[in-house]
Amino acid sequence: MPVVVDMLHITSDHALQAVYFRCHGDLPKALEHYLRCANWQKAHSIFVTSVAHKLSSSADHSEIRRLAIAMEDHKSEIENWDLGA
């Protein structure tokens, strides 16, 4: 399906929801939708700049691990993955 979406320049529901939640300041929900629409760079950016810090502050290490693992298979598509930023 992503190939058809790309060919027809149709924005997926998850991409639209990611933008909506990002614009409304709900970055954890935006992150989830960026992951679901495979926008690894934006997902990583939100994870590093805001979500990981909040999860770390609340000691939610299993959620940090889950999100990092979700992106790890796509690290070649994520700029500065090896730097953690």
Question: 9: domain range?
Answer: 2-83
What pTM did the predictor assign? 0.79
Confidence of residue 7 (pLDDT cuts 50, 70, 90): low
Q: Residue 27: count other Cβ atoms within 10 Å of its Cβ.
A: 17
> Measured between alpha carbons, how far is 68 from 41 in angstroms, rounded to an integer?
12
Residue 11: predicted pLDDT:
63
Task: Render pLDDT for 15-65 as a digit per residue (tens, 0 to 9).
Answer: 999 999 999 999 999 999 999 999 999 999 999 999 988 888 788 899 999
> Measured between alpha carbons, how far is 17 from 59 in angstroms, rounded to an integer?
27
The number of folded domains in the chain is 1
Cβ atoms 43, 34 nearer than 8 A: yes
